[in-house]
Structure 1
Amino acid sequence: MNIQIFGTKKCNDTKKAERFFKERGIKYQFIDMKEKGMSKGELTSVASANGGIANLVNPDAKDKDAVALFQYIADEDKLEKLLESQQIIKTPVVRNGKQSTLGYQPDVWKKWE
């Protein structure tokens, strides 16, 4: 398994995801999205694994303006907008190769083991 956890240090669900893998002795790579966001390829891969780019957006994100703007821009511009405003992505994004999840989903992660 090659686990990557994209999140922020202040996000409780990200901390719970880290704990989940730590308790099982599974090595993972943590990427702080405040310091280094996702690449276009990573974002595209996560979007396709999770049913499209619109599913990546957290409707409860603090940046309400970015969430509102994202909902009303043309579909072909959404990937670029999400690359610019990664603070509105649901965290944690946990990747295992081509598989990925959004938010805290231990039931899915158990199936990866």
Structure 2
Amino acid sequence: MITLYGIKNCDTVKKARKWLENNGVEYRFHDFREDGMDSVPLESWLKSFGWENVLNRRSTSWRALTDEQKESMDNATALTLAAETPTLIKRPVTESGDETRFGFKEKEFSELLEKGTN
């Protein structure tokens, strides 16, 4: 089962959800805002991929950080900030088995779907 993490009003999340639905893929959606951050494996993502790949440095939330916060960013700081402001996380996050992907690209979703059905 695929778990898709994000925020329901995010355009990229909407595209990913539409793609999954159009391709008949069952998934569970976890909305950072509505469902909370308690069960989100944020610490694991940061440990495996590093804050540079987990946080969206083009987001409005990133731009709202102070220069000091940005310059001193590390996994521990990212964990605290993303738990408080989940819009810092690159969206959507897709988990399927032991695969985790950040963002949405149709080709990657197709590859993920192929792996999940083999």
Shift of 1:82: 2.0
Q: TM-score, normalised by structure 2?
A: 0.76
Residues in 2 aligned to 1:102 and 1:67: alpha-carbon distance in whole angstroms: 24
For residue 34 of structure 1, what is the aligned residue in structure 2? 33
SS of the equivalent of 1:59 reads coil
* CA RMSD across the alignment: 2.3
SS of the equivalent of 2:33 reads coil
For residue 102 of structure 1, what is the aligned residue in structure 2? 102
Shift of 1:40: 7.0
Preserved CA contact (<8 Å) 1:6 1:92: yes
Matches within 5 A, 1:46-85: 46-49=45-48, 51-63=49-61, 64-66=63-65, 68=67, 70-73=69-72, 75=74, 76-85=76-85
Structure 1 residues without counterparts, runs of 5 or longer: none
What is the aligned-residue identity percentage? 26
Preserved CA contact (<8 Å) 1:47 1:53: yes
Structure 2 residues without counterparts, runs of 5 or longer: none
For residue 86 of structure 1, what is the aligned residue in structure 2? 86
Residues in 1 aligned to 2:8 and 2:33: alpha-carbon distance in whole angstroms: 9
Shift of 1:74: 5.1
Q: Which has the larger radius of gyration?
A: 2
Shift of 1:37: 3.6
SS of the equivalent of 2:101 reads strand
Q: TM-score, normalised by structure 1?
A: 0.79
